[in-house]
Structure 1
Amino acid sequence: MNTFKRSFLFSLVFVTPVVFAIPTLQTGKNDQKQLSLTIYERDLALVRDVRQVPLQDGALKVQFVDISERIQPETVMLRDTVSGKISVAQIYFDNNLLSPQTLLESYVGKTVRVIKTDPATGAETQESAQVLSARNGIVLKMGDRIETNVPGRLVYERIPEGLQASPTLTAELASKVSGSRQLELDYLTSGIGWNANYVALLNAGENRMDLSGWAAISNNSGTEFRNANVQLMAGSPNVTNARPMLMAAAARSAKFDAVPAGNEIAQESFSDYHLYTLPHKVTLSNNQSRQYALLSASDVKVKKEWILDGGNYYYRSRMPNVSDSLPVTMTVEFRNAKNNRLGMPLPGGIVRFYQTDGRGNQQFLGESRMSHTPANDDVTLRMGESFDVTGSRKQTLFKTVPSENQSVRKYESAYTIVLKNAKSTGVTVQVREPIPGSWQILQENYPHTKDGTTAVWRVAVPAGGQATLSYRVRVE
Structure 2
Amino acid sequence: MRRAALTAAVQIAAACVTAQAAAQVVSDQPDAVAVTIYREGTAARPPRGGYVYFGDGGLALITETRTVDLPAGRQRVSFRGVADGLVPETAALEGLGGEAVERNYDFDLLTPGSLIQRSVNERVRLVRTNPTTGTVEERDAIIRSGPQGVLVQTADGVEALGCSGLTERLVFDRAPEGLTDRATLSVAIDVLKPGPQTLRLSYLATGFNWSADYVARMAPDGRTVDLTGWITLANSGGTTFENAPTQVVAGKVARDRATRAPGARVTGTFPACWPGGTTSDRVEISGLIGANRVEYEGPPQVVPGVASDEIVVTGSRISRMAFMSELGDYKLYTLPEPTTVAARQSKQVQFLDQRRVPAERVYLYDLAADLAGGDRYVEGRPTAVLRLKNEARAGLGRPLPGGTVSVMQTDAARPVLAGLDSLSDTPVGLPVELELGRAVDVRAAATLVSETHVVRKGVGRVRSEVEVVLVNGKSVPVRLELAHPAAPAEGLRVVSETRLHFVKDATPTWSVELKPGERLRFRYAVEARSPVRNGR
Q: TM-score of the superposition, structure 1-length normalised? A: 0.86
SS in 2 for 1:102: helix
Does the 8 A contact of 1:199 with 1:212 survive in 2? yes
Please tell me whether residue 349 in structure 1 is matched to residue 403 in structure 2: yes
Label 1:52 to 1:471 Cα distance change in 2 as closer, same or farther (>3 A): same
User: What SS does the corresponding residue of 2:381 show, helix, strand or coil?
Assistant: strand
Corresponding pairs, count: 458
Larger mean CA deviation between 268-277 and 389-398 belongs to 389-398
2:93 touches 2:201 (CA, 8 Å); kept in 1?
A: yes
Indicate whether 1:375 and 2:425 are aligned: no
| Aligned residue in 1 for 2:247 | 231
Tell me by how many angstroms 1:236 deviates.
Answer: 0.8
- The answer on whether the counterparts of 1:318 and 1:398 sit within 8 Å (CA) in structure 2 is no
Map of 1:182-221 to 2, 5 A cutoff? 182-221=198-237
Superimposed CA distance per residue, residues 50-77 of structure 1 (whole angstroms, 9 cap, x where no aligned partner): 1111112221111122222222222211
In structure 2, the residue matched to 1:38 is 36
Change (3 A) 1:433 1:64: same
- Structure 1 match to 2:72: 57
Q: CA deviation at 1:199?
A: 0.9
Contact 2:87 2:260 in 1 (8 A): no
Q: Would you say 1:405 and 2:457 are equivalent positions?
A: yes
Read off the aligned partner of 1:54 and give its amino acid letter: D
* SS of alignment partner, residue 257 of structure 2: coil
Whether contact under 8 Å (1:460, 1:467) holds in the other structure is no
- Superposition pairs of residues 8-27 of structure 1, within 5 angstroms: 10=7, 13=10, 16-18=13-15, 19-20=17-18, 21-27=21-27
Deviations 1:336-380 (A, max 9, x none): 2333333332222112111111x2111111022222222343322
Aligned match of 1:71? 86
**What are the residue-to-residue correspondences of 1:92-107 with 2, within 5 Å?**
92-107=104-119
Distance in 2 (alpha carbons) for counterparts of 1:394 and 1:123: 82
Give the Cα–Cα distance (whole angstroms) in 1 for the partners of residues 365 and 320 of structure 2.
43
Q: 2-side partners of 1:222 and 1:397: how far apart?
A: 66
Residue pair 1:115, 1:153 contacting (<8 A) in 2 also:
yes
* Counterpart contact for 1:139–1:146, Cα < 8 Å: no
Aligned residue in 2 for 1:85: 97
Tell me the CA shift for residue 302 of structure 1.
1.7
SS at match of 1:13: helix
> Which amino acid is 2:345 matched to?
Q
Given residue 158 of structure 2, which amino acid in structure 1 is its aligned partner? Answer: E
Find the aligned partners of 1:438 and 1:236 in 2 and give their Cα distance.
Answer: 34
Aligned in 2, Cα 1:440/1:130: closer, same or farther, shift over 3 Å? closer
Alpha-carbon RMSD: 3.2
1:335–1:377 contact (8 Å) kept in structure 2: yes
- Give the superposition deviation at 1:94: 1.4
Q: Which amino acid aligns with 2:146?
A: A
1:9 deviates by 5.0
Query: 5+ residue gaps in structure 2?
Result: 41-57, 262-302, 530-536
Counterparts of 2:374 and 2:437, CA distance in 1: 31
* 1:415 aligned onto 2:481: no
CA distance in 2, matches of 1:125, 1:352: 57
Q: Please tell me whether residue 163 in structure 1 is matched to residue 179 in structure 2.
A: yes
Rounded to whole Å, the distance in 2 between the matches of 1:36 and 1:289 is 17
Distance 2:80 2:247 in 1: 23
Change beyond 3 A, Cα 1:126–1:13: farther
Residue 418 (structure 2) pairs with residue 365 (structure 1): yes
- Distance in 1 (alpha carbons) for counterparts of 2:250 and 2:451: 50
1:414-453 equivalences under 5 Å are: 414-436=465-487, 437-451=490-504, 453=506
Q: Secondary structure at the match of 1:372?
A: coil
Please state how far the C-alpha of 1:47 moved relative to its aligned partner.
Answer: 0.7
2:387 is the counterpart of 1:327: no
* Structure 1: 5+ residue stretches without partners: none
Aligned partner of 1:88: which letter?
A
For 1:261 and 1:313, the matched residues in 2 are separated by 49
Distance in 2 (alpha carbons) for counterparts of 1:104 and 1:165: 15
2:31 aligns to what SS in structure 1?
strand
Q: How does 1:305-320 map to 2 (within 5 A)?
A: 305-311=362-368, 314=371, 319-320=375-376
Amino-acid identity (%)? 26
Separation in structure 1 between the aligned mates of residue 241 and residue 129 of structure 2, nearest angstrom: 47
Aligned equivalents of 1:70, 1:27: Cα separation in 2: 19
Kept in 2, the 8 Å contact 1:233–1:274? The answer is: yes
Alignment of 1:125-140 (within 5 A): 131-134=143-146, 136-139=148-151
Structure 1: distance between partners of 2:510 and 2:320: 47
Correspondence for 2:28: 28
The 8 Å contact of residues 459 and 469 in structure 1, kept in 2 or not, is answered as no
Which letter maps to 2:317? P
Q: Which moved more, 1:374-383 or 1:12-21?
A: 12-21
Structure-1 separation of matches of 2:88 and 2:508: 54
Q: 1:180 aligns with which of 190, 196, 219?
A: 196
- The residue correspondences of 1:246-261 to structure 2 (distance < 5 A) are 248-249=305-306, 251-261=308-318
Q: Distance in 1 between matches of 2:320 and 2:176?
A: 51
Equivalent residue of 1:305, what SS?
strand
Distance 1:156 1:379 in 2: 61
C-alpha contact (below 8 Å) 2:113/2:147 kept by paired residues: no
8 Å contact from structure 1 (residues 308, 431) kept in 2: yes
CA 1:52 to 1:116, structure 2 compared with 1: closer, same or farther past 3 Å? closer
| Inter-CA distance 244–383: structure 2 relative to 1 (3 Å threshold) | farther
